[in-house]
A and B are shown apart, each in its own frame.
Chain A
Amino acid sequence: MTAIDLGIPGLTGVPTTDEKQTARDYKSDQEVRWCPGCGDYIVLNTMQSFLPSLGLKRENIVFVSGIGCSSRFPYYMNTYGMHSIHGRAPAIATGLAVSRPDLSVWVVTGDGDALSIGGNHLIHTLRRNVNLKILLFNNRIYGLTKGQYSPTSEEGKVTKSTPVGSLDHPFNPVSLALGAEASFVGRALDSDKAGLTSVLRQAAEHRGSALVEIYQNCPIFNDGAFDVLKDADEAQRRIINVVDGEPIRFGREGEYCVTREGFGLAVAKSADVDASDIVIHDASDLNLSFALSRLSTQDLSHTVTGVFRRADRPTYDDSARAQVNEAKASKAADLGKLLHGKDTWTVVG
């Protein structure tokens, strides 16, 4: 039995099992060694609770990571896994995905790993649309090297390497991914188990590269970076959760909404605008997705969560396999013939 029966495009070709799985089945025998209070624990638990619902054979799931705190993730998953080298996980995972259609391949990376040293691989993987799910743990700091600013740290950040403030302007990872032609981009908060699970599920179901940015707290070097989003009252004013096909409203009673303004979007009070002016989210509309990404500001005065973009286009690995299969079907693999080529001559004794 394969997942093709379930009609989940992202998992077509990956064998499923009827055996009941629990989160416990996905815990490896390795002791989890992140700092107490690290957001990575919550993400790990969410992932371990979520995966059984896919019903995949555990041995057909692979986690590939780079270097950084979050990249220890594969050690704690009782699946196959590779903890590779800094920034290169998307490339290694691409090789795996191209050669093995029967695997569900996940990449675990951080803001330094994915956006700094591995920036090139990230954008090209997204552009190619390799069937990989990329979880970008963004804590806006370098944790494993003990607290230098990262490419998502705010300007002027005072760290060990920038005692008088950093000079770098940060990336908006969602905007970057959309600019890199990503076919799926989502964002969630580490502390929002339901929201994260929902985005992870949609990412798993999507066939193609899925980038999921996870705001993740580093309690040691950047504690509280996302606290304003975790305070119940503040969160109501700041978090704009989008759902495909639905009007974009937020706040406790939906008292805020998103409207069009110039070439972009703006936040308004729902009471002040005509209901028909409230933007309806369309994850297939790249311009809308991009405009939503720009509503999210570095200072978190607004943060969009959910799935920004979800678009169908051929994946690199499927297409590469199709070319190979077509060649195999149309031309026999005759090594002798290949070696002889067109021009030969024979020496007789």
Chain B
Amino acid sequence: MSTETRKLDRVVIRFAGDSGDGMQLTGDRFTSEAAAFGNDLATQPNFPAEIRAPQGTLPGVSSFQLHFADYDILTPGDRPDVLVAMNPAALKANVVDLPDGGILIVNTDEFTKRNLTKVGYDSNPLEDDSLEKFQVHKVAMATMTIGALEETGLGKKDAERAKNMFALGLLSWMYHRPTEGTERFLREKFSKKPDIAEANVLAFRAGYYYGETTEAFAVTYEVAPAKLNVGTYRQITGNTATAYGIVAAAQRSKLPVVLGTYPITPASDILHELSKHKNFDITTVQAEDEIAGIGIALGASYGGALGVTSTSGPGIALKSETIGLAVMTELPLLVIDVQRGGPSTGLPTKTEQADLLQAMFGRNGESPVPIVAPQSPSDCFDAVLDACRIALKYRTPVLFLSDGAVANGSEPWLIPDVDSLPDLGVEFATDPENFQPYSRDPETLARPWAVPGTPGLQHRIGGLEKQDITGNISYDPENHDRMVRLRQAKIDGIEVPDVEVDDPSGEAKVLVVGWGSSYGPIGAAARRVRKLGLPVAHAHLRHLNPFPKNLGEVLRRYDKVIVPEMNLGQLALLLRAKYLVDAMSYTKVQGLPFKAEELQDVLADVIKGVSA
């Protein structure tokens, strides 16, 4: 029997298994294959907060979703077209997302009575009719992997661990993926354990050949390469792009970077990445706590370095007082908040956008800080560079609001030409003639950056209110009022680009406004409703403080403004307060990104309501 090949424009695959099953690696490899083939893609891992939750249980399920297509896509996909379930827990936790008719590939070896009972299956779903609305492929992946590795002499347990590569091989066959990259990767990854490397390659091939030789799969699928802009691409996650943006900022400002930080999910990978790049004059200090992390960063900035601290929401709460000190001492500082579900410890591995108001207002006193938010994994690079530009030019702490979805998600990135990156060069104060620590640049209102070691500029700074110009301690009421307003005016005057509105037809009466990682789902939803003949305009904010100068005018141009957020309406609150527009909120706080499908319905309803 020959297999039929069907052409598709896009596919969403989800690999799901136990957190020890190597699902992230499997997904990552399939992503690389898709990238190498030239598809556009977006990915979203989803893993438990527990490092190794009890095996085979629902809390231990780890998954990786990948969306690849022959056109430019914006999200990792709402629902999988194909679900690979390595055990009953993975099936139970994920099958609800599989649409009717979806392809389900199951590793039957794990469907033992014990494992089924563990997750509350009374009967084996592979044997009853509960999965009949799907195209189910039952594959004894572990058994076949062990069989394929029999001659290697590898123990059964070690052999069985390669079953994720069997699954990858099978999927690679189904989707006509190139395989050389994966084999090369496995040999490199396990270069110190050649027998394990070989076992993984054999398992990968076994999965591929199984697809080819068995008659169980009547159809394979092809997704043609996407037409992307000309250039060289790589795949990148948000946290890596953030780290690279910081390296680029160091290079373009010719400053050393000192990262003072404390490990926290989902921000730790920024520390891991930067600690590898000391050759770019980057020092990373893993501090004793969040407060020391930012203290070290601020101390380094005081000494003339670019101080950076990275954390998540709970860490921002601890760093607040030092951010205030940076506001008062008017020193450059980059504060990265990779947002996660809150409050308190909340949902460490899940995403949320609920730290906007904390970033905006979460300090004592009038303590304004600029806020920059990336809209996608690769956008973290440009956005963090811009955050550094603001910090250095205006001598201020800057809050960079990433989130779990962009931090761990990945997508192709058109690698920029290094020479095209902005020049972030700074000038330190050196002239003792008439030096005043709190004099200001007339344009930026920044004070001089006068670092210790500069002859004749000895001065004292600190958290107490400063006298305008001299920087001496001052309790004068008029002076305090003036300084509060000056600090605010400095932030308000930061140059940020105008917000662009995406409204292809030019006929939209409804504007959807988003910020940060909801760019993908909002953009995809907007495309979908436009296809239904419903015009909609989309504006996405990178700069949350100050807002772009044209934002008020943009908001007033539309009959209706809707603001989807993964919080209870924080941006909507700011827009309503600042611009007196009747911005409508659409909110969801499930720890997961919006689905394009749900936003499509929301937008369609609003647009129809306006037209009616």
Contact = CB atoms under 8 A, between A and B. Distances in A.
B453 A60 contact: yes
B332 interface: no
B415 A82 contact: no
A95 B307 contact: yes
B461 A83 contact: yes
Contact of B458 (A59, A90, A124, A323): A59
A266 interface: no
A345 B298 contact: no
Contact of B283 (A62, A88, A90, A324): A324
A93 interface: yes
Interface of B: 32, 35-36, 38, 181, 228-235, 244, 247-248, 251, 256, 258, 260, 277-283, 285, 287-289, 291-293, 295-305, 307, 321-322, 324-325, 329, 415-418, 452-464, 472-473
Contacts of A82: 302, 329, 460-462
Contacts of A98: 258, 283, 285, 296, 299-300
Contacts of B416: 339
A100 B453 contact: yes
A330 B280 CA distance: 11
Contacts of B279: 324, 327-328, 330-333
Nearest to A336: B418
Interface of A: 28, 30, 57-60, 62, 64-65, 67, 74-75, 77-86, 88, 90-100, 102-103, 120-121, 124, 320-321, 323-324, 326-328, 330-333, 335-336, 338-341, 343-349
23 contacts: A59-B458, A60-B453, A80-B460, A81-B462, A88-B291, A88-B295, A91-B292, A94-B295, A95-B303, A95-B307, A96-B452, A102-B453, A120-B289, A121-B295, A323-B283, A327-B278, A331-B279, A335-B247, A335-B251, A335-B280, A336-B417, A338-B247, A343-B35
A323 B283 CA distance: 9
Closest 9 CB pairs of A and B: A95-B299, A91-B295, A83-B462, A327-B278, A95-B296, A124-B288, A80-B452, A92-B299, A91-B292
A349 B230 CA distance: 6
B292 A120 contact: yes
A14 B36 CA distance: 53
Contacts of A30: 460, 472-473
Contacts of A103: 303, 452-453
Contacts of A330: 279
A91 B281 contact: no
Nearest to A78: B458
A129 to B, nearest CB: 14
A92 B231 contact: no
B282 A339 contact: no
A341 B453 contact: no
Contact of A335 (B235, B300, B418): B418
A147 to B, nearest CB: 21
A75 B460 contact: yes
Contact of A91 (B296, B305, B453): B296
A332 to B, nearest CB: 7
B197 to A, nearest CB: 17
B460 A85 contact: no
B261 to A, nearest CB: 12
Nearest to A347: B228
A204 to B, nearest CB: 17
Given A121-B288, A336-B418, A59 B453 contact: yes
B299 A91 contact: yes
A75 B473 contact: yes
Given A86-B321, A321-B283, 6 more contacts: A79-B458, A85-B322, A88-B291, A95-B307, A335-B280, A346-B232
Contacts of B234: 339-341, 343-345
A314 to B, nearest CB: 15
Contacts of B228: 347
A347 B463 contact: no
B278 A99 contact: no
B258 A95 contact: yes
- Chain B CB count within 10 A is highest, among A74, A83, A96, A326, for A96
